[in-house]
Amino acid sequence: MDLSFASAGFSTLREIREKLLEFKKESGKPVVAWAEMYGQGSYYLATAADAIYLQPKGDLDYRGLHSEYMFLKGMFEKLDIDVQFIRGKNNKFKSFGEVYTQDAMSPANREQIRRLLDGLWSDHLAAVSSKTGMEAARLNTIVDSLLVRNGEAALQLELIDGLKYRDEVLADMKDRMSLDVKKEIEFVEMGKYSRSFGKRTHGDAKADDKGKLAIIYAEGGISSGKSSDGTIGSTSLSETIREAREDSTIKAIVFRVNSPGGSGLASEVIWREVKLASEVKPVVVSMGNVAASGGYYISAPATKIYAEPTTITGSIGVFGIIPNMQGFFKNKLGITFDGEKTHQYADMMTTSRPLSEQEKLVIQGYVDEFYDGFVQRVSEGRKLTIAQVDSIGQGRVWTGVDAKARGLVDELGGLEDAVKAAAALAGLTNYSEVELPEQKDFFQQLMEDLNGQARMWVASEWLGEDVQLLDQYKRVRDAKQNFGIQARMPYDLVIQ
């Protein structure tokens, strides 16, 4: 494995790592990892290998995890923009709006993020300990003391097995494979490898009574309307779930959720279809890197929920944001607004003036009502009391481990575990898998990824270090496109 540029979410890396360990155990074949430089994510993945090699002048970036937030309160104050942030009652952990209204993390947000980081780091330590034999305390000392300054230090500390150039790694592989040194190793291209699987079947592929198991993917933020790249459209996803429910040849559904949430109304629309499907056939949720807020909302009515230990989930809470742009327009641009209305609250959602105290109470009522409904949905789906859900809700995010301990998920495991569970619940032994909506082939996805990388490169060239502002702009733009109450994770969590 060349892990020089390997990067993915914690749960994705964990699933791949588990599959590598399974491959080694079942096949007895060697796995070798090499990189020009290891990040903490790629090093975590490398711990599944029999040998970990690093380019002699390469580095192992081993400093622990951190999560940093950009607070925009000062910028908005300079622009005379007042961001009116209203969250559900006692939703103290629902901190999305804090980046606009505060200049530092709130105690509640700091508490939940520290617990989240500790949980993710604990999983990392377990993986490294299993490979190196070192105890967690020793590894933490190495990290705290910043002892891994270069490749030589990583080797001396026994975090890697050797410093080798790529050609030396290939020679090592030939030796492990008992190949003649003059013979070239035949590598399989990723596209060819992925296409070799075709449609996956289980049991007797020729059996007449073979049924189907549908895997439905929900990837991205949740919004109303049709799905687009990186966005879950409630109309599109609802149609897909409905088709799977009404198809008599589909005996079970695995619902793969990888979403931080989004529009509360769109989440409710999807929830309804998941609920209807679960009433006629098993629906097993497999949570990916994140299934929080609206992502958890649409998962709640499933027959069974699986999450990885490192999945970020929960965030049962809601909020609304209405910017007051009056000062900006008047003081910065010289623009004023005036008008007439037929009724008292006709212009309540305008951004050209501040909300009145009565209007704030009205919107607070809307938000609280939706939160109560969210709690009710989870209570029904998870067979928990309202009080129990509220105590673990309040907008708080949890790791998969913590979520299981609190009844928000049933089992810890990945997509394959969810598939097996769904098949067992449906009594399937001979069946094939069908992916919905139809997944892009490898090269189509690769070209889209490259396009995205090219756009980011251009943005980086123009904006330099300020390219981070582009992410903030996208978040505001996406939220603006989804009117109404938001069931969205309180941040786009980036952990390094």
Residue positions annotated with a catalytic role: 94, 293
Tokens of 427: 């009594």
Report the run of H or E that residue 450 belongs to, with start and end.
helix 442-463
For 446-474, give one letter per residue: b (16+ CB within 10 A) or e: eeeeeeeeeeeeeeeeeeeeeeeeeeeee
* Residue/partner pairs of 386-391 with CB below 8 Å, 24 or more apart: 389/316, 390/90
Backbone angles phi, psi at 292, to 5 degrees: -125, 160
Tokens of 298: 């649409």
Tokens of 131: 């490979």
Selection from 451, 448, 430 nearest residue 439 by Cα: 448
Q: How far apart are CA 154 and CA 53, in angstroms?
A: 10
For residue 484, with 0-12 CB atoms within 10 Å meaning exposed, 13-18 middle and 19 or more buried, which class applies? Answer: middle
Report the run of H or E that residue 285 belongs to, with start and end.
strand 283-292
Tokens of 302: 């499933």
- Whether omega for the bond prior to residue 354 falls within 30 degrees of 0, making it cis, is no
Axis crossing angle, helix 10-27 with helix 107-132, rounded to the nearest 10? 20
Tokens of 190: 């990723």
Rg (CA), the chain: 25
Selection from 280, 278, 268 nearest residue 304 by Cα: 278
Q: How far apart are CA 54 and CA 479, in angstroms?
A: 43
Residue-wise DSSP of 92-143: TT--TTHHHH-SS--HHHHHHHHHHHHHHHHHHHHHHHHHH---HHHHHHHH
Tokens of 479: 């939220």
Q: How far apart are CA 182 and CA 164, in angstroms?
A: 19
Side chain identity at residue 470, one-letter code: L
Count, in order, helices (H) and strands (E) of the chain. Answer: 20, 18
Backbone angles phi, psi at 405, to 5 degrees: -65, -25
Alpha helices for 133-189 (secondary structure H): 136-144, 151-156, 166-176
